[in-house]
Structure 1
Amino acid sequence: MIEVLAPGPYATVQDLGRHGHAHLGVPGSGAADAASLRLANRLVGNPEGLAGIELTFGLARLRFLAGAWVALAGAPCPVWSTARDPGMGAPFWVPEGGEVRLGAPSWGLRTYLAVRGGIAVEPVLGSRSTDSLSGLGPPPLRPGMVVPVGMRRGGPEEAAEEEPVEVVAGLGDIRVDLAPPRPPGAAVLRVLAGPREDWFVPGALATLCAGPYEVSQDSNRVGVRLRGPELARAKEGELPSEGMVTGAVQVPPSGQPIVFLTDHPPTGGYPVIAVVSEAALAIAAQLRPGDEVRFSTRLPR
């Protein structure tokens, strides 16, 4: 069991999504940066699809009511803990009653915490994911909430009896793992031409790729809203509702593109000028307000 002392700005339980229900109007949901959740699960010996905690902009504090193996992946945060050698990208043992506290990430937006056995909230339609659009799944984490953990499969129980953690910088039994510096330059999202490119004036896709765009503060798990060069239409009006995929770049009448993330609606009435490649979805999920982003139709080198 994990007690939420502070969830940070926004924290939810996420697995790899609620798939197969789009025809009923149910979004896929799941971890926005699925690659990071998969990595965190692998680090603690879980199957990749088990549920973990998605922390938006860090600043969370969690108490473990039983000893557990934990790993963090995604946006790199400073980590303070009563555990030995806590940090990003490697498993560490949190003893019974121990805490894990995260600072704000130096770059990126979403950090994933996996615990051996997975987060064992009740599944809804085959998934334990919180869906911010439809409200399906468990509610967002709040102070005082206790989150169940699944049965551990192996792992040394004697890890709880390890020697006291080294004292560093006068912090007692707290160690700090500083986040690496932010990668240089703007993020680049590779795109393919969308199914409604003909709804835009000639050269609109080139305009999209000329960029740059700035991430708006109105972005969320539904989509990354962008500000930049306007994408002018050649056709007026709206389309009948049609299926949307994660990564679709939809353009409302404002001409400002929106990159759909995992909580996006399964249908929409605005034309899709491009689709972000699956490999670039993790980059899109880590964009934060004020970040600069560019689009490209070229294959990465």
Structure 2
Amino acid sequence: MTHLVVDAPGALTLVEDLGRPGFAHLGVAGSGALDRGALALANRLVGNPDGAAGLEILIGGFRATFSGDAWFAVAGAWGRARLGGRPVAPYTAARARAGDVLELDPAERGIRYLLAVRGGIDEPPVLGSRSRDTLAGLGPEPVVAGRVLELGPEPATSVPLIDQEAAFPPPADHLTLGLLPGPRADWFTDAARARLFDDAWRCSASTDRIGARLEGPTLDRAVPGELPSEATVPGSIQVSTSGQPTILLADRPVTGGYPVIAIVAPASLDAVAQLRPGQEVRFRHA
């Protein structure tokens, strides 16, 4: 059976599928790929179900060797990809032969590559998912050099005849995200609610799979004191005591005590996965 031998994992490579919903009552977040659309599309390009497990590769610097023939596709971030030294186009199904080496250079647009291989990455599921939850420590361990990743059996569906989907690179300058009203918007001053939409924000270098931390003006509270912990959803924008917002992502805590001023609309959430440190973020009403 074909497998993938990881020679260099880059900054951080994780096995991710579309997550493990339905366990919030146990304190377990849904987790899964941050750019769900990119993983689903890469899977479709190689004939996998949308939710087959693939690799989420942060920044790049990734290198792996195929032990046998296999179809694969790279989506999400855009950068230079090579198979056996030959360029590989993004969002395109490509065929690897035994001994071929796949290399992903540091991303030029976006920050997370999603790599799908026909058959999917065959890791033991935990609570029904093969995803790594970096906060809870559930799922497969982060990929290290020398890791041998087994592939699952080929699906019954064939590789699509049209092997390239219309796709566009993540934006290189600013990103505009649609927002829905938050459950605790009334905990903030009128000026703070206006500032959220009127001012520009910057993605912090401390952003991770738990949350995208933003830097900008202070969002002042109208209601002092602590908020009892309440449920969170992906895209919740919590505002800490510093007045700085954080967009909660897939590996977030399922409850939180900071007030949520707004929620990133589901249609905009995949784009947050590709934010680069220092990139400008603006908000609009969804």
- The equivalent of 2:253 in structure 1 is 265
- The equivalent of 1:177 in structure 2 is none
Unaligned runs of 5+ in 2: 159-167
Letter in 2 for 1:195: P
Asked if the contact 1:8/1:58 (under 8 Å) is kept, the reply is yes
User: CA distance change for structure 1 residues 155 and 193 in 2, over 3 Å: closer, same or farther?
Assistant: closer
Letter in 2 for 1:100: L
Measured in 1, the distance between the counterparts of 2:148 and 2:254 equals 32
Structure 1 residue 107 displacement after superposition: 1.4
Residue 36 in 1 paired to residue 38 in 2? yes
Residue 95 in 1 paired to residue 97 in 2? yes
Measured in 1, the distance between the counterparts of 2:170 and 2:240 equals 32
- The equivalent of 1:291 in structure 2 is 279
User: CA distance change for structure 1 residues 50 and 277 in 2, over 3 Å: closer, same or farther?
Assistant: same
Number of corresponding residues: 276
Structure 1 residue 182 displacement after superposition: 6.7
Asked if the contact 2:110/2:171 (under 8 Å) is kept, the reply is no
Which structure: greater strand fraction?
Answer: 2
- The equivalent of 1:173 in structure 2 is none
Q: Secondary structure at the match of 1:295?
A: strand
Structure 1 runs of 4+ with >6 Å offset: none
Unaligned runs of 5+ in 1: 157-179
Q: Percent identity?
A: 48
Asked if the contact 2:79/2:104 (under 8 Å) is kept, the reply is yes
Asked if the contact 2:186/2:222 (under 8 Å) is kept, the reply is yes
Asked if the contact 1:77/1:105 (under 8 Å) is kept, the reply is yes
- The equivalent of 1:70 in structure 2 is 72
Quick one: which of 212, 220, 224 aligns to 2:200? 212
- The equivalent of 1:255 in structure 2 is 243
Q: Deviations over 1:84-127 (max 9, x none)?
A: 76221110001011110011111111110000000110000000
Measured in 1, the distance between the counterparts of 2:233 and 2:170 equals 29
Measured in 1, the distance between the counterparts of 2:180 and 2:274 equals 20
1:124-273 alignment, distance < 5 Å: 124-153=126-155, 183=171, 185-273=173-261
Letter in 2 for 1:5: D
Structure 1 residue 203 displacement after superposition: 3.1
TM-score scaled by length of structure 2: 0.93
Asked if the contact 1:195/1:273 (under 8 Å) is kept, the reply is yes
Q: Secondary structure at the match of 2:196?
A: helix
Residue 19 in 1 paired to residue 33 in 2? no
Structure 1 residue 185 displacement after superposition: 3.9
Q: Secondary structure at the match of 1:108?
A: strand
Asked if the contact 2:4/2:67 (under 8 Å) is kept, the reply is yes
Structure 1 residue 204 displacement after superposition: 1.9
User: Looking at CA atoms only, which structure, 1 or 2, has the larger radius of gyration?
Assistant: 1
Letter in 1 for 2:198: A
Q: Secondary structure at the match of 2:133?
A: coil
Letter in 2 for 1:107: R
**Alignment RMSD:** 1.8
